[in-house]
C-alpha cells in the first residue's frame, strides 16, 4: 500500500510540465545625423505599466590613465559601487558636486580609496582638482535594462516580457531637445523587436585629454 508521500510524488510527476514564459529580445540601433553609428550612448529601458525593479547592483571600476578617466562614461544600477584607482604616474584628486553623489577624494595615486556606493539615480559628473581637462560621467539608473551602445551603435536587451516599454537614450554631450531621446515601443514575447533612432544633432566635442602641467605631482 502506497503512503501519502508516495501518492503525492506520483501525482506531481504526472502533472503536465509548464513551459517557461517566452521572453522577448529588443535590439536598438542609434545613428547620428550623418547616418553613422554612435558608440557609447546610455540606453535605459523600463516598462510603461507596473512596478519596475532596478537591475542588480554591480562593482564597476573607473580608472585614471594618461590624465583621463577610462572609460569617460559608465552606466550602473542603483546600489552599485565604483572603484576609482589611479594608474597614472601623477596624483589626482577626484571629486563630484553632482546631487546624486557628492564626494571628494584627497590627492592620491597608487593605492586607491575604498569603492564608492551610488544609491541615487541621476548623472554624476567627475572632475580632478589638479587637471581641469579630466571629466568623467557616471549615470546611475533604476531601470531594469541598461547599457551602452557598441561600435555599431547597437544595444540589445534580453528577457523582456510582452508589453509596452519606455526607452531613454542619453549622453552628457548630447544636444537633442531635452538632452535625450525618449520613445515608446511594444514588444512581443518569443520574437525580436528592432528599433532604429537617429540623433538630429552631433554630440558636443569631447574635452581635450589631459595635458601635463607644471604642478603635476
Assigned C-alpha cell, 26? 529588443
Query: CA angle, 14 as apex, 12 and 16 as ends, to 5°?
Result: 95
pLDDT for 7 beyond 60: no
Domains of the chain: 20-48+160-203 (2.60.40.1120), 53-142 (2.60.40.420)
Q: What value does the mean pLDDT of the chain take? A: 88
- What is the reported pLDDT for 86? 95
pLDDT for 11 beyond 60: no
C-alpha–C-alpha distance, residues 94 and 126, integer Å: 7
C-alpha–C-alpha distance, residues 126 and 192, integer Å: 37
Q: What pTM, to 2 d.p., does this model score?
A: 0.85
C-alpha–C-alpha distance, residues 181 and 41, integer Å: 11
Average pLDDT over residues 126-133: 93
pLDDT tens for 57-91 read: 999 999 999 999 998 999 999 999 999 999 999 99
**pLDDT level of residue 95 (50, 70, 90 thresholds):** very high
Amino acid at each position: 500500500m502506497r503512503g501519502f508521500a508516495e501518492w503525492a510524488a506520483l501525482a506531481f510527476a504526472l502533472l503536465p510540465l509548464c513551459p517557461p514564459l517566452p521572453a522577448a529580445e529588443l535590439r536598438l540601433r542609434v545613428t547620428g545625423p550623418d547616418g553613422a553609428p554612435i558608440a557609447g550612448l546610455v540606453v535605459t529601458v523600463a516598462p510603461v505599466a507596473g512596478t519596475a525593479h532596478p537591475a542588480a547592483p554591480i562593482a564597476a571600476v573607473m580608472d585614471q590613465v594618461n590624465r583621463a578617466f577610462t572609460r569617460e562614461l559608465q552606466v550602473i544600477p542603483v546600489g552599485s559601487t565604483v572603484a576609482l584607482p589611479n594608474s597614472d604616474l601623477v596624483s589626482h584628486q577626484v571629486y563630484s558636486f553632482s546631487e546624486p553623489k557628492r564626494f571628494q577624494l584627497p590627492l592620491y595615486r597608487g593605492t586607491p580609496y575604498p569603492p564608492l556606493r551610488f544609491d541615487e539615480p541621476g548623472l554624476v559628473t567627475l572632475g580632478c582638482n589638479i587637471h581641469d581637462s579630466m571629466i568623467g560621467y557616471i549615470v546611475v539608473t533604476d531601470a531594469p535594462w541598461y547599457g551602452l551602445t557598441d561600435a555599431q551603435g547597437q544595444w540589445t536587451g534580453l528577457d523582456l516580457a510582452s508589453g509596452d516599454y519606455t526607452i531613454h537614450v542619453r549622453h552628457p554631450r548630447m544636444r537633442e531637445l531635452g538632452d535625450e531621446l525618449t520613445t515608446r515601443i511594444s514588444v512581443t514575447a518569443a520574437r525580436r523587436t528592432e528599433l532604429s533612432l537617429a540623433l538630429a544633432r552631433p554630440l558636443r566635442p569631447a574635452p581635450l585629454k589631459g595635458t601635463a602641467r607644471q604642478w603635476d605631482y
